[in-house]
Chains A and B, each alone.
Chain A
């Protein structure tokens, strides 16, 4: 059913008229041309499509457009602030916490959502929270390090 859905996208109000049962992932990637959100599995198993909805990490391949009506959506494109990298993004760069980079946007946004809720995550917290985000290149080690250091920097105020 075509429906006009209004929500906030990376800080800007926006409305999209389309079948509201469509998944947010595809609306972002094709209708809105925001390709930083990736397709990895389409069934909720990999986390490549992670975006923030009201600061909560969700899988956009499993979230329909009508579910985000009136909510705040942040994608990887919206995380940096006027060109300045968010501390998590900076930490990923500084730790070389990526290889092919395909899992990276999802990793960063999932970490963001965790740190917002738990500003001082332990190693165990990080692993638990990140466990369902897959990375085939094996960048895990450095992703954990990047998140640890980003959390410290964010605690000291952004």
Chain B
């Protein structure tokens, strides 16, 4: 399985992925007691590929068949709402031929689950999925071999249903997986490659299943990191600076120390108040007097774009063909536009939370994280423990969207637990969440393009600054093009990181806006303009499907109808979105009335789950398109809660219609991110179609709409 660079978008925060390769002995120790087959884990070089570990080849790392017949799916992925708790169980059950109800999910448990880099990049189904399916297929083959020996029946005469191997046509000659494994170690594997099932053999994949975690969640029983209770635990509130670049000069904790039951800890940079009640710890923290030296802010959300454009950056050419300058000379009409996009917060409803219990030379941690194995390494490093002495468990995660890749809260809890000798919970409040969030980076996109007399795009010069290159490449038929991405470390006044479909929201907004700018000038309907300049088969199918569903009829732009189209590709999934908006010219308020989205994602494991992700993307996309924008002065984050930072609400809800294309592609592609990328572009184009003026900066806030109307 080859992964592209964009899957591994570097995280721009101080957080190491340390190397603690799992050795063979550790591995066997960990998995003994169940079905264990000798394996080759691959040599160290392979593991160190890309400086990261890889998935092991032994199927026992992925699943465990208990003596009771229940099957544990040992995934290092975590559940944060995206629904893999259901779809991974489907994949495992289908390949292993057990019922989905017999599968128990063990997710993000560093002592039990297969190692994983983390849950991000829409990689679970498309990248991890094939490994897990292969593991299950091999386990099934081994079990059938063993059954053949026990039953004394040829393998070819055996079949499996619901974890029971039996002779075809004679169900009495049978033996269950549980009887075969008996909880003993079986050291066998299948020589050669075992094929995974193809579409015609699926019994569970490709069918819709309700969420497997719904029951616990509606009853309030589902445990998130903040819900773990341990005897004698303390809740910690850590002193926070007013700005990222502020230096502590003096601190007076005497008042906080007087709060009954409060414990004040100071270790180097870490100053915290602990108490058996979090609210009292919080009040005591407010009593700490701290003086900081905060440098004069150099930049804010308005000046950031000039600042970034002037920041020394490295140019990377992503792709090019022909000669853009030559193309521009031949063009009948040329266009030059600069697009802007502000910082956006992840703002999961659950803030960063962890509880760590350090006992002697061991630590157990429950962490709300997208990267449990990296959290384990970070905790070990902070405590000076060997990694195998740290056990991270990942309860349900209350939303992540890329923001729970760092895990500073777990390191803080670990340090405080080591100092106090008690289990310590660190749960950020909303202001801390906004302060330490790794925002989606502010970015600028400059596009110079040109069309011929007949409306064919003849040149396309695309330069993206600081968003990243995911989604930067165009997919239209253009003879002369050049796509470059400019980046630099340390350019932003605070941490930034991947945000649901990193870079692609910005890039798709810019590209699809520019396409419509050209269509409008050419006097061609934006749909027809795209059809004219597009040969990409899957995108054409998505576009036509969305247009049919929408009931789209061509019109010269701006038509006044408020309809906008955008296309995009993310995580190898193809998306077409058509949005319809109402714009209030007096208030600048945009109401999105309807969104139709068609997507080709290859193999779709759980159609209902995939649709939910599309709906989630569409709804979340309204926010970055219309309101979400971090306000700041240098390293000081002004927005501290949802009064200032506006998330999409029920009253914003458009009518949402989704279509998943019946794909020819047997491989699974991304599902949790793609449908969000087109929201900015579709809404920008719909706004133009409604009012005849364009907003080239996201979010397209009422102020910006009014300003655009005023400036014509």
Contacts and interface: CB of A to CB of B under 8 A. Distances in A.
A144 interface: yes
A3 interface: no
B218 A92 contact: yes
B620 A138 contact: yes
B425 to A, nearest CB: 10
A138 B216 CA distance: 19
Contacts of B81: 98-101, 137
A102 B211 contact: no
Nearest to B611: A96
A136 B647 contact: yes
B226 A23 contact: no
B641 A77 contact: no
Interface string A129-144: 0111111111111111
B82 A99 contact: yes
Nearest to A77: B220
Interface string B559-583: 0000000000000000000000000
Given A26-B279, A136-B399, A137-B81, A128 B651 contact: yes
Contacts of B350: 38, 40, 100, 102
B214 interface: yes
A35 B230 CA distance: 13
A9 interface: no
B1 interface: no
A113 interface: no
Interface residues of B, number: 59
Interface string B619-658: 1100000000000000000000111000111110100100
Contact of A134 (B222, B227, B229, B647): B647
B259 to A, nearest CB: 11
A104 B211 contact: no
Interface string A11-45: 00000000100110110011101111111111101
B214 A96 contact: yes
A37 B401 CA distance: 23
Contacts of A89: 218-219
Interface string A93-115: 11010111111110010000000
A100 B219 contact: no
Contacts of B224: 38, 102
Given A39-B427, A85-B219, A102-B349, A138 B643 contact: no
Contacts of B401: 136
Q: Which of B83, B217, B223 has the most chain A CB atoms closer than 10 A to its own CB?
A: B217
B349 A131 contact: no
A36 B221 contact: yes
A7 to B, nearest CB: 18
A39 B226 CA distance: 9
Contacts of A39: 226, 351, 427
Contact of A138 (B226, B277, B618): B618
A151 interface: no
A115 to B, nearest CB: 15
Contact of A127 (B214, B222, B651): B651
B651 A40 contact: no
A78 B287 CA distance: 36
A122 to B, nearest CB: 13
A145 B80 CA distance: 22
Contacts of A134: 349, 642, 647, 649
A102 B398 contact: yes
A76 interface: yes
Interface of B: 80-83, 210-211, 213-224, 226-227, 229, 235, 276-280, 347-351, 396-399, 401, 427, 429-430, 608-609, 612, 615-620, 641-643, 647-651, 653, 656
Interface of A: 19, 22-23, 25-26, 29-31, 33-43, 45-46, 48, 75-77, 79-80, 85, 89-90, 92-94, 96, 98-105, 108, 126-128, 130-144
Given A99-B81, A131-B651, 7 more contacts: A22-B277, A41-B641, A101-B217, A101-B222, A104-B217, A134-B642, A141-B615
5 smallest beta-carbon distances between A and B, as pairs: A36-B220, A138-B619, A100-B81, A102-B398, A101-B217
